[in-house]
Amino acid sequence: MSRLIAPSLLAADFANLQRDIEMINASEADWFHLDIMDGVFVPNISFGLPVVEAVKRLARKPLDVHLMIVEPEKYLRKFREAGADVLTVHAEACRHLHRTVHEIKELGMKAGVSLNPHTPVSSLEEIISCVDLVLIMSVNPGFGSQQLIETSYEKIRKTSALIRESGCHALIEVDGGVNMNNAPLLFDAGIDILVAGTEVFSAPDPVRRIHELRMAGEKR
């Protein structure tokens, strides 16, 4: 299958958000990635439901919403109503992860589970057959412009092996520290979806950079 590129709006210019959304619409990107941070689960606050709703009104591509919040199960329906097409929760934030994953799917969204850098892939063994994607955090979540943690490659390979062994069709997404140097290595390790924020929005030509990231995957 083709690899997917999901620019992260966390790195967009919020004074010119419509411009950046229209740029992504016109690019070869596949999804919009939106990081929702509450200042409790992660040490930062990003944006919430009103911004998701505003993006949905302008976006012509699916919204990939990543909840980095405590008690995400309280907000699943609200994010669906706001426009989420893919909703990812953290394994570390869910007391009843299996129930939460199924509620996401019952609401008509694709369900993802994210793992922080310290969380082992083995924690997914009892849930992997139920999820649509696994999001590997390749930095400690909360802030952009961090350097990718080198052990992420092996974690991606372990996740890929678990998916094969289970016989499911979950996709692997990676987020954090992505750039043109490590994108080919991440695709080689087994990812399907590349989230890129600073690498896209800080580029002189973001549309071209999205194309270059896509080519890094297509050539693998």
Which residues are annotated as catalytic? 35, 175
Q: Please, which residues bridge with residue 69 across strands?
A: none
Element housing 166 (H / E) = helix 152-166
Write out the two tokens for 103.
Answer: 């509620």
Quote the CA–CA distance of 33 and 194 in Å, as a whole number.
10
HSE at residue 132, side-chain half, CA atoms within 13 A, is 17
Q: Please, which residues bridge with residue 175 across strands?
A: 137, 195
Decide the pairing of beta strands 110-115 and 86-90.
Answer: parallel
Q: Which residue has 């083709």 as its token pair?
A: 2
Write out the two tokens for 155.
Answer: 């974690």
